Amino acid sequence: MPAVLTTSAPEPIVYRVSMRAPASHEYEVEMRVPALPDRDRVDLVFAAWAPGSYMVRDFVRHVFGLEIADRRGRAFAPADVVRVDKQRWRIASAGRAFRVRYRVFAFEATVRTSFLDDSHAYWNGTSLFFFVDGELGRPCQVTVAPAKPSWRIATSLPPVTGRGAGRSLSYAAADFDELADSPFEVGTHARHAFSVGRTRFELALYGRTNADPARLVDILRRVVTATGRIFGGFPFRRYLFIVHALPVGSGGLEHRASVTMDIAGLSFEEEAGYVRFADLAAHEFFHVWNVKRIHDRALGPFDYTQECYTRLLWLYEGCTDYLAHVIILRAGVTRERQFLRMIADDWPRYAQRPGRNETSLEELSFEAWIKQYKPSENFTNRAVSYYEKGFWTAMALDLTLRLEGGGRRGLPEMIRWLWERFGRSGRPIADADVRAAAAAIAGRRLDRFFDRYVRGKDELPLPALLRRAGLKVVARAEWDDDDKPAGERDPVRSRRARAWTGLALHADRTTVRNVVPDSPAWRAGLTFNDEIVAVDGARVAAPTFARRIADHLPGAEVRVTFFRRDELQEANVRLSESPDRKLDVTVDPKAGARARTVRGGWFGV
């Protein structure tokens, strides 16, 4: 329903977004700041990051042609406009209203930034709008002038009654936080809608895709319904999915009443494409509660000018990533067999990462700003993604909660506990509250779990927990094919897969990307960026390096020739047996009643 302006509300800050030359990829933005009689000086500030994406991006680098004038259009004197730092201008306004005009170059097609061309326009508020320091709580309005008459507008913000001229439309935000948290899609996107109960959901689908739109809508309906059951309903009356079908997908970014998802548009030639879509949608939609409403003080209200450090990203992202798989299982998008196959495929990859136990999960969360998104060459050896480690810790926590409490309640109920006591009322959480939530669900304190696996660096006991949940877990060497039928075994291939160097190369060249600590290559002195050219005198390329290593068995010594800073060198590498493992995870038909109850509660049966 359109928002109705009232005279009792503070006068809003008003923005106008035009796109008269979309091929230039530049938005033209006008900002009108009302009179602030108690403010002789006003600071205009541009955000440095986008909430939900924990990296300083310095959006102001895309701002050009800044002009500041009074209400009548008379330019301020140079002495009255002082640039304080990279993102802040100080205006000597003497309390008077003034106008700001500028252009924003928008040519980064991601969910975190803004984009404009002759096919569509998309923006996040943090990469397009200045805000007035000290006035974040003031209402905002934005008028959008589409580039073409055929373009339509999709946003979660309500339209403003009686506002807009011609093809322009205006929208209201309660404050800058809501404006910044409400992305816009403007163009010829396809529109779809459905309802769950009294809540309306909309899909704005842009781009070329070979997906069946009706299937996408059905998946979204299933996902939101399954998630709504966890929380007993939805904290809004309307929600918008903005989906960009692009050549390459780049993930999603959550908002309180909307989401943007960038997907690989032509990746739906098999069922896996729809499963990936469902998983992404479930992850981002769960953020409606977990991080957008359940969060600590660092993540709301936001400081848009600098890093906002928290040790709880593992909860917001790792738990959300894990529960997305549970949700699409409960929604019927996937089946139990697929869920167990995911564990079997992905756990060994994590369990073989050399840096998984080098840094605690809390510290990985805290350091995301400087390490996760700006990794050094040795990141793989000394750290791991808080998403990935958080995922497996969340699974371990879910199983631990169910084993302690009889199986019926687990991590979904723990997140709902936090929602009911903190998120619903807007109260920020702390680490102690997360532990209290776990204790409430388990029936006893789980401090030992948090101290060992969240604050500490102990190896996660996931295989043992899976067995206690009624699953058979069998680990084998990656090269071992004894589990295959006799007619499918390949003893030659199996033998050739046994030798291991510990080197990881770039995909398209023989340059060393990583060397596992204490591996054969590490002990031989090979290191980052060495360019390997030969093995035992035989020239190698990216596809053939592994083949020449496979010519030898573990224990053999091979001569590796490489360039280091244009100097030709050699190293003798004594091969060892590959530590890589594969996993079989199946339902244990001999599991006891308690284990079956735990598994049933876990899967939502």
Q: What is the pLDDT of residue 484?
A: 81
Rounded CA separation 334/328 (Å): 6
Tokens 């200045």 label which residue? 130
Rounded CA separation 442/453 (Å): 17
For helices 319-330 and 271-286, the axis angle rounded to 10 degrees is 120
Q: Are the C-beta atoms of residues 367 and 386 closer than 8 Å to each other? A: no
Q: What is the pLDDT of residue 507?
A: 87
For helices 593-603 and 386-405, the axis angle rounded to 10 degrees is 130
Q: Are the C-beta atoms of residues 211 and 277 closer than 8 Å to each other? A: yes
Q: Which CATH architecture has domain 13-187?
A: Sandwich (2.60)
Element holding 440 (H helix, E strand): helix 431-442
Q: Are the C-beta atoms of residues 584 and 381 closer than 8 Å to each other? A: no
Report pLDDT digits (tens) over 291-319. Answer: 999 999 999 999 999 999 999 999 999 99
With left for phi above 0 and alpha for psi between -120 and 50, is residue 63 left, alpha or beta?
Answer: beta
Q: Beta 81-85 vs 152-154: how paired, if at all?
A: unpaired
Tokens 């480690």 label which residue? 389
Alpha carbon 308 to its chain centroid, in Å, reads: 16
What residue type is assigned to position 226 of the chain? A
Q: Beta 258-264 vs 238-246: how paired, if at all?
A: parallel
Q: Are the C-beta atoms of residues 22 and 105 closer than 8 Å to each other? A: no
Q: Give the tokens for residue 474.
A: 């069998």
What are the two backbone dihedrals, phi and then psi, of residue 333, each rounded to the nearest 5 degrees?
A: -75, -40
Q: Where are the domains of the chain?
A: 13-187, 192-288, 319-472, 486-579
Element holding 145 (H helix, E strand): strand 140-145
Q: What is the CATH number of domain 192-288?
A: 1.10.390.10
Q: What is the pLDDT of residue 574?
A: 98
For helices 593-603 and 319-330, the axis angle rounded to 10 degrees is 100
Rounded CA separation 28/369 (Å): 31
Rounded CA separation 287/311 (Å): 17
Q: Are the C-beta atoms of residues 131 and 304 closer than 8 Å to each other? A: yes
Rounded CA separation 61/49 (Å): 12
Rounded CA separation 597/599 (Å): 5
What's the Cα-to-Cα distance from 472 to each of 66, 168, 199, rounded to whole Å? 64, 61, 42
Tokens 């739906």 label which residue? 268
Rounded CA separation 594/255 (Å): 39
Q: What is the pLDDT of residue 483?
A: 79
Cα(first)–Cα(last) distance of the chain, in Å?
A: 39
Instruction: Spell out, as residue ranges, where the chain has pLDDT lower than 50.
Output: 1, 4-5, 164-166
Instruction: Give every CB contact of residue 115 below 8 A, 6+ residues apart in sequence.
Output: 25, 106, 107, 108, 109, 121, 122, 123
Q: Are the C-beta atoms of residues 131 and 303 closer than 8 Å to each other? A: no
Rounded CA separation 410/400 (Å): 8
SS (H, E, C) 204-229: EEEECCCCCHHHHHHHHHHHHHHHHH
What's the Cα-to-Cα distance from 82 to each of 42, 89, 90, 99, 434, rounded to whole Å? 11, 6, 5, 16, 45
Q: What is the pLDDT of residue 350?
A: 98
Q: What is the pLDDT of residue 486?
A: 81
What are the two backbone dihedrals, phi and then psi, of residue 552, each rounded to the nearest 5 degrees?
A: -120, 155
Residue-wise burial string across 258-285, b where 16 or more C-beta atoms lie within 10 A, e elsewhere: bbbbbbbbebbeeeebbbebbbbbbbbb
- R_g over Cα of the chain: 27
Report pLDDT digits (tens) over 237-262. Answer: 999 999 999 999 999 999 999 999 99
Alpha carbon 338 to its chain centroid, in Å, reads: 23
Rounded CA separation 39/138 (Å): 14
Please give the DSSP secondary-structure letter assigned to residue 460.
P
Beta strands in 155-307 (DSSP E): 169-173, 184-187, 190-196, 199-207, 238-246, 251-254, 258-264
The matching CATH number, chosen from 3.30.70.20, 2.30.42.10, 3.30.420.40, 1.10.287.1400, for 486-579 is 2.30.42.10
